[in-house]
Amino acid sequence: MSCGANKAFAWVNVRSTQSINTSLGIGIGLAIGLSRKFDWLVSPIFVVMQTAPLAALIPLLVMVYGIGLTSKVIVVCIMAMPVIVLNTSGAVRNTPASIIEMGHAFLGTKLDIILKIILPAASPIIFAGLRLGVSAGFIGAILSELKITPTGVGDIITFSRSIADYPTMYAAITSIIVLAVIFLNVLARLENYLFKGSQQTYASE
Amino acid sequence: MKLFGYQLPAMSSLILWEIVGQLEFTFFLPPLSAKFVTLIEISTTSVFLQALAVTRYAFFVGTFSAIVIGIPVGILMGKSRLLDELLLPWVNMFLSAPLTALVPVLMVLFGFGMKSIIITTTLFAIWIIVLNSRAGVMQINRSLIEMARSFGASPKDAFFKIYLWAAPPEILGGVRIGFIRAVNGVIIGQLLISIVGFGALFELYSSNFLMKHFWAVLIVLFAIAFTIAEFLAHLERRVDYYAARR
Amino acid sequence: MNDNINDIDNAVTVRNVYKNYGEVEALRDLLLDFPRGQLTSLLGPSGCGKTTLLKIIAGLLPANSSEILVNNQPLTGPGPDRAFVFQDFALLPWANVLRNVAFGLKLLGVARSEREAIAETYIGNVGLQGFEKRYPHELSGGMRQRVGLARALSVDAEVLLLDEPFSAVDEQTRRKFQEDLLHLANNENKTFIFVTHSIEEAVYVSDQVALLLARPSRVSEIIRPEGFRHKDAGSIRRDPEYLDIVVRIWASLRTYVE
């Protein structure tokens, strides 16, 4: 059962990394969406990161930093950040002008308007970005396990394939996918809980 | 962004970042200029051209199948409620599932060759194309379809003359994102399944820590992906007026 | 009523307002008074700067230069003395009716229980009892605008700014809204500034109609329909003076249309 414990540990790591990245990504995206200057300075980097196949970097990163937390953070970061950041900034920029104006008319402060209008309005698209980002993070993490390290669930898959123990291999793969899907479901629940009734259509349409 | 009254071009801040890169914080990021020099050096070698050919083949066959299968499936899902309820959970799951975990299954089913790499590429690209085509169809104005039916259009007519024409903004958006995802897919396939094409080059350069070479290849891939994505984005903007008319 | 404007207590006075959009001159040297407790319509062809002027008064748009007094105080930005009703409703799609109506009070820092009680009252006043827990996408256009109206009323501002509030609702609802607005203007001691492009609507509800002409916008005429103001809502549309004024306004506007 040491394999199982190992696996669980590795995945907990990925998840905590994901949540750190998530808040960082949303923060950067928000800043890009709100500030022209920041947009000019930072968003090209994320555009490049999203388009270039940075998955190629993963084996190298793991080789240099080992399978520790550092490489996990970097892997999840380069895979998950671009889509989270770009989705957030796009959604923030596309907040319907009339509800922002409404906020001004009813004397909202800058902070009020960001917290009570812009972020809730952008939340469906931010969460869509999170789903994609989380899955990209998983893709990167599994790639590193399959490719390099003799740890985690990737190793179980590689090993059981090499000895043609397909039931174990399928079980391992299914467990990963189930884990990812459960994680994404929790995310969807959170979204529903936080922004109940928020349909993706706007009342002003 | 404006500076002294001049409009700065969109990607110009990358020059600033290049200067930061020159400071050499880490060997991971050699300066862009060095990368370009290396790029010119290796781009004429036969190893490089061969890798380009192999990767290009896998990439285009993979994305082509994703488009040819993905768009009709998405349109049908948007049209038929039954099909939609049947397929949508699966499409959503595969869109967000860690697809790398499925690559070993492909190796078992389709062997260690080109076939598996192409299917990996398709798997990376297809789901977003399906979803976006579905979304495009669902946004079609009902009265457009009723108009076609009132003029006696058969279901086949409606499919080719209305649905396929009315949904392009979303479909093109899906294809664009699909292309970008496929670039990652083809490289992951080449790294995991069989070490060929650019995957092999990455493997070679990274095991010898030839960072300039590594980044030069990455730039080539970025340039290809970026050009295609920008071209599709351009097409998207040209049909943007659709969205306003619906 | 005294027609000499200088003797009237004005809630809002507008002087020397200039507004350019790039090269285009939208407003030039605009001058207009809004008497307290009365309903003033801004009427004119589309693109004549009615909404621009309204948003400048609301403090949402900066003018290139202006002398605007609200309650004899110079205008500095949005303030609690003015409330805005939006043409496209500007409701928060993720919030239910109750929270939407209470949103203005929330931004003013009113405690939750208090602001929900106030919102509840105004939801009742606009006839939306029982819809408190509904979301905007579940409501018809007319009901959405009632929410927008309740939100503006609940902050209890002295001046209500209405930007073509009925243009996105159907004709029958619109007539009902016009009657409701008349009652509101008679019963609440508030100043209304009402932007519309419907001549009948403007004459029907207004104490004072300001005709604006386009590019650059300026006030061409101020009409005060007084003869039928005391009549009940149903018989105004048959009043000869009402019909005369409608015809007269159309006669002076038609040369500017097309």
Cβ contact C104–A199 (<8 Å): no
Give the residue, B98 or C250, on which the prediction is more confident. Answer: C250
User: Which chains are adjacent to chain A, needing at least 3 Cβ pairs under 8 Å?
Assistant: B, C
Cβ–Cβ < 8 Å for B129, B74: yes
Cβ contact B108–A161 (<8 Å): yes
Give the residue, A103 or B213, on which the prediction is more confident. Answer: A103
Which of the following CATH numbers is that of domain B39-244: 1.10.1740.10, 1.20.120.550, 1.10.3720.10, 3.30.420.40?
1.10.3720.10
Beta strands in A15-166 (DSSP E): none
Tell me the backbone φ, ψ of residue C257, rounded to 5 degrees. -90, 125
**At least 3 CB pairs under 8 A between chains C and B:** no
pLDDT at residue C123 in the model: 93
- Distant-in-sequence, close-in-space partners of A128: CB < 8 Å, separation ≥ 6: A87
pLDDT at residue B150 in the model: 65
Q: How far does the CA of residue A30 sit from the closest CA of chain C (Å)? A: 19
For residue range C86-95, what is the model confidence (pLDDT) as tens digits?
A: 888 888 877 8
Cβ–Cβ < 8 Å for B161, B148: yes
Radius of gyration over alpha carbons of chain B, in Å? 22
Cβ contact A157–B101 (<8 Å): yes
User: Using CA atoms, how far apart are residues C119 and A106, in angstroms rounded to an integer?
Assistant: 15
Question: In chain A, which among 22-41 make CB contacts under 8 A with chain B?
Answer: 36-37, 39-41
The answer to whether the bond into C216 is cis (omega within 30° of 0) is yes
User: Using CA atoms, how far apart are residues A73 and A22, in angstroms rounded to an integer?
Assistant: 12
User: Using CA atoms, how far apart are residues C86 and C148, in angstroms rounded to an integer?
Assistant: 7
Nearest CA in chain A to B92: A181
pLDDT at residue A38 in the model: 85
Residue-averaged pLDDT of chain A = 78
For residues A88-93, give the mean pLDDT: 89
- Tell me the three-class secondary structure of C108-169, residue by residue: CCCCHHHHHHHHHHHHHHCCCCCCCCCCHHHCCHHHHHHHHHHHHHHCCCCEEEEECCCCCC
Strands C73-74 and C65-70: antiparallel
Cβ contact C107–A112 (<8 Å): yes
B179 closest CA partner among B111, B239, B132: B132
Is A162 in the B-facing interface, judged by CB distances under 8 Å? no
Provide the 3-class DSSP secondary structure of residue C70: strand
- Using pLDDT thresholds of 50, 70 and 90, give the confidence band for residue C192: very high
ipTM value for the complex: 0.75
pLDDT at residue B121 in the model: 93
Is A123 in the C-facing interface, judged by CB distances under 8 Å? yes
CB-side exposure of A29: number of CA atoms within 13 Å? 31
User: Which chains are adjacent to chain B, needing at least 3 Cβ pairs under 8 Å?
Assistant: A
Cβ contact B98–A139 (<8 Å): yes
Cβ contact A101–C96 (<8 Å): no
For residue range A9-33, what is the model confidence (pLDDT) as tens digits?
A: 455 566 677 777 778 888 898 998 8
pLDDT for C104 beyond 60: yes
pLDDT at residue B62 in the model: 92
Question: In chain B, which among 105-124 make CB contacts under 8 A with chain A?
Answer: 105, 107-108
Of B96, B98, B184, the CB nearest to A176: B98
Cβ contact A146–B104 (<8 Å): yes
- Using pLDDT thresholds of 50, 70 and 90, give the confidence band for residue C101: very high
Is B192 in the A-facing interface, judged by CB distances under 8 Å? yes
User: Using CA atoms, how far apart are residues A52 and A21, in angstroms rounded to an integer?
Assistant: 19
A46 closest CA partner among A22, A73, A79, A91: A79
pLDDT at residue B130 in the model: 93
Is A38 in the C-facing interface, judged by CB distances under 8 Å? no
Cβ contact C86–A101 (<8 Å): yes
pLDDT at residue A198 in the model: 46
pLDDT for A8 beyond 70: no
Helices of type H across chain C: 50-58, 97-107, 112-125, 141-154, 171-187, 199-205, 240-253
CA dihedral A68→A70→A72→A74, nearest 10 degrees, is -160
Nearest CA in chain C to A120: C94
Give the residue, B245 or C62, on which the prediction is more confident. Answer: C62
Cβ contact A60–B14 (<8 Å): no
Domains and their CATH numbers in chain A: 3-200 (1.10.3720.10)
Q: How far does the CA of residue A114 sit from the closest CA of chain C (Å)? A: 12
pLDDT at residue C2 in the model: 44
User: Using CA atoms, how far apart are residues C51 and A135, in angstroms rounded to an integer?
Assistant: 46
Cβ contact C83–A106 (<8 Å): yes
Nearest CA in chain A to C54: A105
- C68 pairs with which residues across the strands? C14
Cβ–Cβ < 8 Å for C18, C187: no
pLDDT for C112 beyond 70: yes
User: Using CA atoms, how far apart are residues A173 and A179, in angstroms rounded to an integer?
Assistant: 10
For residues C79-102, give the mean pLDDT: 87
Tell me the backbone φ, ψ of residue B5, rounded to 5 degrees. 85, -5
Cβ contact A48–B14 (<8 Å): yes
**Interface test mutation site (partner A, options C54, C84, C88, max chain A beta carbons within 10 A):** C88
Cβ–Cβ < 8 Å for C213, C27: no
Cβ contact A106–C155 (<8 Å): yes
Partners of residue B11 in chain A, C-beta under 8 Å: 44, 47
For residues C200-205, give the mean pLDDT: 90
Cβ contact A99–C155 (<8 Å): no
pLDDT at residue A199 in the model: 43
Cβ contact A56–B105 (<8 Å): no
pLDDT at residue B1 in the model: 55
pLDDT at residue A2 in the model: 42
pLDDT at residue B123 in the model: 92
- Using pLDDT thresholds of 50, 70 and 90, give the confidence band for residue A203: very low
- Using pLDDT thresholds of 50, 70 and 90, give the confidence band for residue C24: confident
pLDDT at residue C150 in the model: 92
For residue range B95-142, what is the model confidence (pLDDT) as tens digits?
A: 878 888 888 888 888 888 888 899 999 999 999 999 988 888 887 766
Is A101 in the C-facing interface, judged by CB distances under 8 Å? yes
pLDDT at residue A204 in the model: 26
pLDDT for A202 beyond 50: no
Express as a percent the part of chain B with pLDDT over 90.
11
Nearest CA in chain A to B198: A56
Express as a percent the part of chain C with pLDDT over 70.
96
Which residues does chain B have with pLDDT short of 50? 244-246
pLDDT at residue A141 in the model: 80
User: Which chains are adjacent to chain C, needing at least 3 Cβ pairs under 8 Å?
Assistant: A
- N residues, chain B: 246
Cβ–Cβ < 8 Å for C135, A197: yes
Q: How far does the CA of residue A111 sit from the closest CA of chain C (Å)? A: 11
